[in-house]
Amino acid sequence: MRLLHIFFIIVLIFNFNLIKADEIETENKIAKNLRCLICQGQSVYDSDSEFALSLKLVISNKISEGMTEEQIYSFLKKKYGEWILYDPVLNKNTYFLWLMPLLIFLVGGAIIIKKFYIRK
Amino acid sequence: MIGSYSLNFGLFFSFFIIFFSINNLKNAENLDKKIISFTFLQFFFVIISFVGLIVSFINSDFSNETVFNHSHTTKPLFYKISGTWGNHEGSLLLWLLVLTLFVFIFLLKSDRQPKNYRIFTLLFQQIIIIGFFVFLIKTSSPFNFIFPVPEEGLGLNPILQDPALAIHPPILYLGYVGSSIIFSSALAAMVSSYVSKEWAKHIKQWVLVSWIFLTLGILLGSVWAYYELGWGGFWFWDPVENVSLMPWFALTTLLHCILVLEKKGILTSWAMVLSIATFALSMSGTFLVRSGILNSVHTFANDPERGLFILIFLFSLIFLSIFIFFFFHKDKEKTENNFFWLSKETSILVNNWFMMYFLSVVLIGTIYPIFLEVLTSNKISVGPPFYNKLILPLLIPFLFAMAIGPKLKWIKSDFQDKLNMLLLLIISFLISALIIKEFDISFLVNTILVSSAFFLFFVTLREFFIKKLKNLSQNVAHFGFSLLILSILLNNIFSTEVITNLKIGETFKSDKFSINFANIVQENGKNFKSIIGKFKVEHEDGSIDALRPELRIYNQPNIVTSEADIKTNFFTDKFITMNYVQNQEYFNIRYQVKPLMIWIWISVLLLSFGGLMSMFKKRYEI
C-alpha cells in the first residue's frame, strides 16, 4: 500500500514536470512569435528589455489561467495591435500577402508548361 | 578638401567619357584607347577622394562633418578606417569607387567583344555613375565642413566596431556593384543586338563574381549577427537581411539561366529580365537600408530630398531598361523547343521557377507591410513564421529537383541508375526518421524535409566519387547547399537554450549540465571598459568548459554592448551571453547549445568556392 502511495506521488511529480515543461515550451513558442515593440527587429523571446520581460510574465500568467495559444495571440493583438504578431493573421488586409506568392508560383509553373511543353 | 574637388573632377570625366564614346561609336573600328584612360582617370579621382576621406578618419579631422558624426579619437585605428564606410555618405562613396573600378576592369577584360557592345555598356554604366556622383555631391557629400571645429567626435556605434562588420560592406558592395555591370551589359547587348551565346559566355564571369561576393557578404553579415547581437540566431528575416537575400535569389536564378543561354541560345528574354531585376533589387536594397525606409516609413519623411532622389533615379533606370527591352530586344528564339520533360533544360527551368517563388515570398513579405501602412495605416509585422510557412514546404521538391537535375542530360534523358538513387532516398529517409524520432519531435514535415536535404547531400556526395572531377564546381556548390540546408534544419530542431538570472557564486543546474558563475573581472580596452564574467559549464560526461562572456561599456557613444563567448567544435557551438538586470546584483545569463553551427559557415564557404572554381574553369562542360 505504501509502495503504491509512493508510486502515485512519483507519477504525479513526473507528470507535473511534464506539464510544467510543456508550459515553458508553449511560452517560448509564443514569445518567439511576438515582436519586442521597443527593440530593433528582435522577438520578445530574444530580447532582455523590460518590455520583453514583462510580456514574458504576462504570457506565462495567461497560460496558467488556462488560455490557449490562439487566445493569447488575440488578447495581445487587441492590446498592442497587429504590429506585435510576427505571424500575420489571414484577413482582408493580408490576403495579398499570403496568397500572392502562391499565385506567382502557380502562374510561373503555368507559363513554363505553356511555353515549353505544349506543342503548337 | 581635395576629396570634394576630385569628386567633381570625377563627374566631369563622366561627361568626357560619354562624349568620346558617342564619337567613337560612329566612326571608329576599334575602341579608342583614350576612353580607357579616361575611365582610369575617373577611377583615380574617386580613389583620391576615398583615400582623402580615410585619411580624415585616421587623423580624426573633426572639421569634416562625416568624421565628426562617426568617429572618435580613442577609437582603435582599424575601426577608424572601417568607420569610413560605416555611414551613409562614406558607403555611397565606396559604391562609387567600386562602380568606377569595375567599369575600368570591364573595359580591360572585354577586348574580344564587339566594339559597340563595349561602348554601350560603358555608356549605361556612366549613366549610373553620374547618378551616384550627383547623389553624393548634392545630397550626401562626405566632405561637409563644420565651423568652429569640434574638439571630439560623436563616435561609431559600438556594435559596428567589429572585424566581420568592418569588411562586410565592401564585400557586399562588390557583389551589388557587379550586378550593375550585368545590368549595363544586358542593356548594351540588347541595343547592339548581341544577345547571344557569346554574350552569355562573357557575362557569366561577371555573374559569378557578383554572386561570390554577394554570398560571402551575406555570410559575413550573418556571422556578425550570430556573435554580436547576443541572441544566438544568424538569420531573423529582418527587412535589412531580406534586401540582401533578394538579389542573391535573382543572381542565382540568372546564373542557372545563363547556362542554358550559353549552351542553347534560348531563354534570352528571361535572362534580360533577370539581369535588370538583379540590379534593381541590389540598388533598391542599398538605398532602402541606407535611407532607413525599411525600419519605418517615417524615416523617409525625415530626409525627403535623399528619398526623392533615390526614387526618381531608380524609376528612371527601370523605365530606361523597360524601354530598351521593348524597343530593342528582338526575341530571335526559334519557337520550337526541342527538349523533353526529362532533361537538363527542364531541371534548370524548375530551378528558376522555385527561385522566383522564394524571391517573391521575400519581396512581398518585405515590402507589403510598408504599402499596407501607407495605404491603410495598419501596421503589421511579417516575421520568421511567415517565411517558414511559405518557404519550407516548397523546399522539399526543390531539394529533390536539385539532386536529380544535374544528373540529367540536355534535350532528352532517361533516369540513370534509378536503383542507386532509390537506395539513397531510402537511406536518407531512414536516417532522418531515426534522428527525428530519437529526439521525440514527431513532425512529419520535419522528417520529410530533413530526408530531402539528406538525399541531396548523399547524391552530391556520391557524385564526387563517380564523376571524377567532371563538372566539379557545380557539384561542390550543390554539395555546399545541401550541407547548408541540412545544418540549418538540424540546428533549428536541436538547439537548446537556458535563460536564467544568476548572482556571482551561484550555480544553475539542469539534468544535462550545470552553469557555475565563478566571478567577474574588469579590464580596460582602448575605448571601452569591460566586465568579464567567468563561467564554468559542467556537462553530463564530466567535461568542463570555461566561458567568458563580456559586457563592454563604450566611452563614446556611451553604449553597453554584450559580447558573447562561444566555444566552437565540429559538432556544436556553446554560446553564452550575460546582461545586466536593472538595479539588481543578478546578471541575466543566456546559455545555448547549438549543433552544427560551424557547418553552416563552412557550407556557405563551399558554396562560394564552387562559384570560384567555375570562374576558373577553362571550358564549359555540363
Closest CA to B456 of B489, B434, B500: B489
CA diameter of chain A:
85
Whole-angstrom CA distances from B355 to A105, B251, B321, B394, B401 are: 10, 10, 22, 10, 12
Render pLDDT for B502-532 as a digit per residue (tens, 0 to 9).
888 888 888 788 888 888 888 888 888 888 8
This prediction has a pTM of 0.89
Strands B565-568 and B560-563: what pairing?
Answer: unpaired
**Nearest C-alpha in B relative to A112:** B349
pLDDT over 90 percentage in chain B: 22
Residues of chain B neighbouring A86 (CB-CB closer than 8 A): 381-386
- Cβ of residue A2 closer than 8 Å to a chain B Cβ: no
Mean pLDDT, rounded, of chain A: 80
pLDDT band with cut points at 50, 70 and 90 for residue B602: very high
> How many CB atoms lie under 10 A from the CB of residue B313?
19
- Tell me the H-state helices in B495-587: none
* Cell 571550358 found at: B619
Render pLDDT for B311-354 as a digit per residue (tens, 0 to 9).
788 889 999 999 999 888 876 655 556 677 778 888 889 999 99
Question: What's the CATH code, domain A2-88?
Answer: 1.10.8.640
Arithmetic mean of pLDDT, B2-29: 72
Residues of chain A neighbouring B594 (CB-CB closer than 8 A): none
Closest CA to B179 of B253, B266, B77: B253
What Rg value do the Cα atoms of chain B yield, rounded? 26
**Nearest C-alpha in B relative to A105:** B357
Q: What DSSP character marks residue B85?
A: G
pLDDT of B297 reads: 40
Render pLDDT for A40-64 as a digit per residue (tens, 0 to 9).
777 888 777 788 888 888 888 888 8
pLDDT of B483 reads: 93
pLDDT of B544 reads: 86
Arithmetic mean of pLDDT, B566-582: 85
Judge: A48–B579 Cβ closer than 8 Å, yes or no.
Answer: yes
Whole-angstrom CA distances from B267 to B105, B197, B258, B270 are: 28, 11, 8, 5
Distance CA A91, CA A30 (A): 20
pLDDT of A105 reads: 94
Judge: A86–B341 Cβ closer than 8 Å, yes or no.
Answer: no
Residues of chain A neighbouring B383 (CB-CB closer than 8 A): 33, 35, 43, 86-87
pLDDT of B301 reads: 42
Best B370, B380, B594 residue to mutate vs chain A (most A CBs within 10 Å):
B380
- Phi, psi dihedral angles at B577 (to 5 degrees): -130, 155
- Cβ of residue A20 closer than 8 Å to a chain B Cβ: no
Distance CA B352, CA B253 (A): 5
